[in-house]
Structure 1
Amino acid sequence: MSSERSESVVHTHSSTSSTVTHSQPVLSNVEKGLPPPQADPTPVAFPEGGLQGWLTVLGGALVCFCGFGVVQSFGVYQDYYTRVHLNNRTPSQVSWIGSVQVFLLFALGIPAGKLFDDGRFRLCIGAGSAIFVFSSFMLSLAKPQQYYQYFLAQGVGMGTGMGLMFLPAVSVTSHYFRARRSLAMGIVVAGSSIGAVIHPIILNNTFGRPDGFAWGVRYTAFLDAGLLIAANVLMKTRLPPKPSKLRPKQVLKEFFTSDKPYILYAAGSFLVVWGLYVPFFYLQLFTALHGVSSVLVTYSISIMNVSSIFGRIVPNLLADRYQASEPHAVMIPSTMITAGLVFALLGATTTAGTVVFGILYGFFSGAFVSLASPAAASFSTKPDMSDVGLRVGVIATVMGFASLTGNPIAGALLSPPHYTWWRPLLFSTLVMLSGCLLLLFSRNSQIKRRKEGGVSR
């Protein structure tokens, strides 16, 4: 009888368990009309380096050496075009060549970022390398006073190649680094400063010779071709592609309607970049017109970019000490100092003044350039970082529109042939300080959301 009672209890317990097991999904899925619950994505583990991780960083640095390094060397072209090859054009018109180049480098961030997130990294890097090298050789064939040839080859062609390469080369480091992401991205972007040291030296030492422009550009094109081949071999992705089911328009709507810290960051970045590149475009012309020694004129851009190498690594080391979510803590004060230095250029009319300005501006401006991408990545809302490419790409595009107009505005304010320098320098200083204010609001908003349990990382 005891056995029958036990069997009855067991049967009752089994029936109850069966009932509970089968009734719960019915209530949650059918009666409530909800989809089955899904587990949260498992956060991805990051190796924080490794051989392939550091090889990828090296490859990214080579891409920046060739692409962004040319952008930061445009001051050499600006000076040479204004005084020699395109002396029938105003400084503002000449600066449109470099501005379109920078614009495309940044503005192609959204399509390049989307392709990167969709697993098309090789397509971006390979196609970008080919377009960039081809356009470089075409620039060497441009004839004096033929503005459209320089504009198409250097502005449109080289800018398109840069735009396809730059963001994927920087973003791929996020596959290998998290805690040390700012440092890794800083090393990648520091490659641009090294390139901006080497390119001006080659160009300035060849432009003064017969056929010097053509061969100077070809020398740099051959150098860039070899380095880009190496970069394509060295860089590899690690994480599987995470194609977004949302269209870019939907993603942009999400970013700019529900993410207040990100909106403020985008607006602040626009204003900072509006004025940031004025010294990179006009420093060599400034020193030449103020009677600084010809040797220093030749090396003024290189001095600034040597200092920028350290400016793109040291601040990133400090940012990592605040963890990957706090690059703003270093970027904002560095950018405020940069803004003040722009106006200080007015007093740098001697050899010593030019050297001091170049060292200081190169260092502090490098902090914003190298920390802009880690700062944008810190707004990622995905545990697997699958939206990093698009988020960084959107910010890059915003900065592209700023760079498109900032330098031509400065050139117009310069008012040649009298060259009223305080106007463009004051413009640059004010817009950068305004941008710093918005970046500060962005950081405070992000910290507040994190404390309230938001998703900013």
Structure 2
Amino acid sequence: MSAQYHDPNQRLSTSPPRSDAWMTLFSAWLAITTTSGYAFSVGVYQDIYSREHDTSVISEGWIGATQLFLMLAVSLPAGMQHDSGQFLSLFQVGSIIFVLGLLILMINESAAFYVKFFYMQSILMGVGAGMVYVPFLAVQADLWGHRSTPAMGIASSGLFVGGTVFPIIQEKMLHNGAVFAQSVRVSLLFTFIGLLVAIICYITESDSDASELLQPRPAGEKLTSLKELLTDAPYMCVAIGGLFMNWGIYFAYIYLQPLVLDHGKDQSFAFHIISILSGAAIPGCILSPLAAEKLGTMNLFTASAFCCPVILAWAFFPATSISGVVVFATLFGFFVGAWFSLLPAVFVNMRNSTVRELGTQMGLAFAVGSVAVLTGTPIYSQLLWPTSQWRPIAFSAVAAMTTGAILFLAARQLMVRRMGTQML
């Protein structure tokens, strides 16, 4: 039997004091910026690894793909634990694992390539970021009630703030003669301070009324089963649509910088293109949830999904000049940011009538999408061989993201029938 849903405009009738919600939102933004945001900037490492270790761009793509795969795959167990009331434990353990990954990456200079970079960065940092990401998004719905869509947008923007700032730090350090370990040391300092402040901010408010929403569930209380979600048609359309979208979106984040270098562009500019791509997503994260309150979350989410493949297909090919690349990165980044920030809010609109199921709903969908992140690298590598760029772009834009957008449209139509309103 499908889960029963309620009107998204009547989610939670009460909210904790506004100061509690704002403090937790600030904590979420800091935590996501310094963990998932750092993981999301992995494209900037591609050129560093290939130059220092004389390996191919395709081989290096596995590092970023595995890291992003684990960040999303861990979302399911992390989301389920959040729904059980283990939010603070997830936050603390995930932060420690992430910092440990950065620490070992910094000090283990003599290790072999796959031990130093692949295992340490991909596994530890991916798992640590995943334990923080979904719980901090889900907690916003618990605390903000009917204003959770803008709150989730602000929290999600941390993903792209980190993806903007950390590549700039790496580029400036390396450009000024620093070795790789020194640049990682600076990133580690920012990450450690950010996570420490985030933990302090959250614990400071943990004695308030807001903490009542985050207490562990009573023993024996039933959570929504995965079977209920797997048999719910609109939910599965969104989850599978996310799988197809991830096949397309991450191509730009992993391979845009190497492709820019292949066009003969300046190496400093190539370093900054990931920051431009992520920086353009920040206003998308902030503005689209605000507009969604008037236009409908599902409506704007679906429209953003259709814009992404159009921009990738039509703007990437003429983006051979610096101005063309910047225009492409700005447009694509904005709508990617809109899509990312509205995805959690879509699950709030579809959430089960029980109050604390959002972590499981988001976690399962993100875990499904993680398959695309991992399998995208071998697909791109085959399509790129030997030098063809149009084939992976055609796959990403047409076969992947357009299919995902169509599935989102189908989910919207199913929800219109269920809810009896066009304002979703």
TM-score w.r.t. the length of structure 2 is 0.89
User: CA contact under 8 A between 2:240 and 2:365: conserved in structure 1?
Assistant: no
Q: Distance in 1 between matches of 2:366 and 2:17?
A: 25
Q: Distance in 2 between matches of 1:332 and 1:143?
A: 48
Residue aligning to 1:302: 275
Is 1:128 the equivalent of 2:94? Answer: yes
Change (3 A) 1:275 1:142: farther
Q: Within 5 Å, which residues of 2 pair with 1:42-81?
A: 44-47=12-15, 50-81=18-49
Residue aligning to 1:165: 132
Deviations 1:223-248 (A, max 9, x none): 10110011112235441444695888
Greater relative CO, 1 or 2 (CA 8 Å, sep 6+): 2
Q: Distance in 1 between matches of 2:219 and 2:69?
A: 26
Is 1:253 the equivalent of 2:227? Answer: yes
Q: Within 5 Å, which residues of 2 pair with 1:115-264?
A: 115-140=81-106, 141-143=108-110, 146-208=113-175, 212-235=179-202, 236=206, 237-239=211-213, 240-242=215-217, 245=220, 251-257=225-231, 259-264=232-237
SS in 2 for 1:347: coil
Is 1:428 the equivalent of 2:402? Answer: no
Is 1:369 the equivalent of 2:340? Answer: yes
How far is 1:144 from its partner?
A: 7.9
User: CA contact under 8 A between 2:82 and 2:359: conserved in structure 1?
Assistant: yes
Residue aligning to 2:412: 443
How far is 1:80 from its partner?
A: 1.7
Q: Distance in 2 between matches of 1:347 and 1:287?
A: 12
How far is 1:167 from its partner?
A: 0.8
Change (3 A) 1:49 1:269: farther
SS in 1 for 2:146: coil
Q: Distance in 1 between matches of 2:411 and 2:218?
A: 28
How far is 1:43 from its partner?
A: 7.1
TM-score w.r.t. the length of structure 1 is 0.83
Residue aligning to 1:112: 78
Q: Distance in 2 between matches of 1:333 and 1:49?
A: 34
User: CA contact under 8 A between 2:283 and 2:334: conserved in structure 1?
Assistant: yes
Q: Distance in 2 between matches of 1:256 and 1:43?
A: 22
Change (3 A) 1:280 1:444: same
Residue aligning to 1:290: 263
User: CA contact under 8 A between 1:125 and 1:165: conserved in structure 2?
Assistant: yes
Q: What letter corresponds to residue 289 of structure 2 in structure 1?
A: N
Deviations 1:353-411 (A, max 9, x none): 011111111101101111111112222122x5221111111111112222111234213
Change (3 A) 1:48 1:182: farther
Q: Distance in 2 between matches of 1:433 and 1:339?
A: 6
Residue aligning to 1:17: none
How far is 1:450 from its partner?
A: 1.6
How far is 1:441 from its partner?
A: 0.2
Change (3 A) 1:241 1:144: closer
Q: Distance in 1 between matches of 2:246 and 2:281?
A: 16
Q: Distance in 1 between matches of 2:375 and 2:53?
A: 20
What is the count of residue pairs matched by the alignment? 403
Deviations 1:58-103 (A, max 9, x none): 1111111112212321111112222x13323x33321111111111
Change (3 A) 1:246 1:345: farther
User: CA contact under 8 A between 2:137 and 2:156: conserved in structure 1?
Assistant: yes
User: CA contact under 8 A between 1:64 and 1:191: conserved in structure 2?
Assistant: yes
Gaps in structure 1 of 5+ consecutive residues? 1-41
C-alpha RMSD of the superposition: 2.3
Residue aligning to 2:3: none
Change (3 A) 1:247 1:400: farther
How far is 1:314 from its partner?
A: 0.7
Deviations 1:272-324 (A, max 9, x none): 111111111111111111112333222111111111110111111111224xx
Structure number with larger C-alpha Rg: 1
Q: Distance in 1 between matches of 2:271 and 2:297?
A: 34
Residue aligning to 1:12: none
Residue aligning to 2:380: 410
Q: Within 5 Å, which residues of 2 pair with 1:265-280?
A: 265-280=238-253
Q: Distance in 1 between matches of 2:135 and 2:218?
A: 15
SS in 2 for 1:176: helix
User: CA contact under 8 A between 2:239 and 2:366: conserved in structure 1?
Assistant: no
SS in 1 for 2:173: coil
Deviations 1:315-369 (A, max 9, x none): 11111224xxx42211111121111222221221111101111111110110111
User: CA contact under 8 A between 1:48 and 1:179: conserved in structure 2?
Assistant: no
Gaps in structure 2 of 5+ consecutive residues? 1-9
SS in 2 for 1:166: helix
Q: Distance in 2 between matches of 1:179 and 1:161?
A: 30
Q: Distance in 2 between matches of 1:300 and 1:319?
A: 29
Q: Distance in 2 between matches of 1:145 and 1:206?
A: 23
Q: Distance in 2 between matches of 1:279 and 1:98?
A: 12
Change (3 A) 1:244 1:178: farther
Q: Within 5 Å, which residues of 2 pair with 1:92-107?
A: 92-107=58-73
Give % identity: 30
Change (3 A) 1:49 1:375: farther
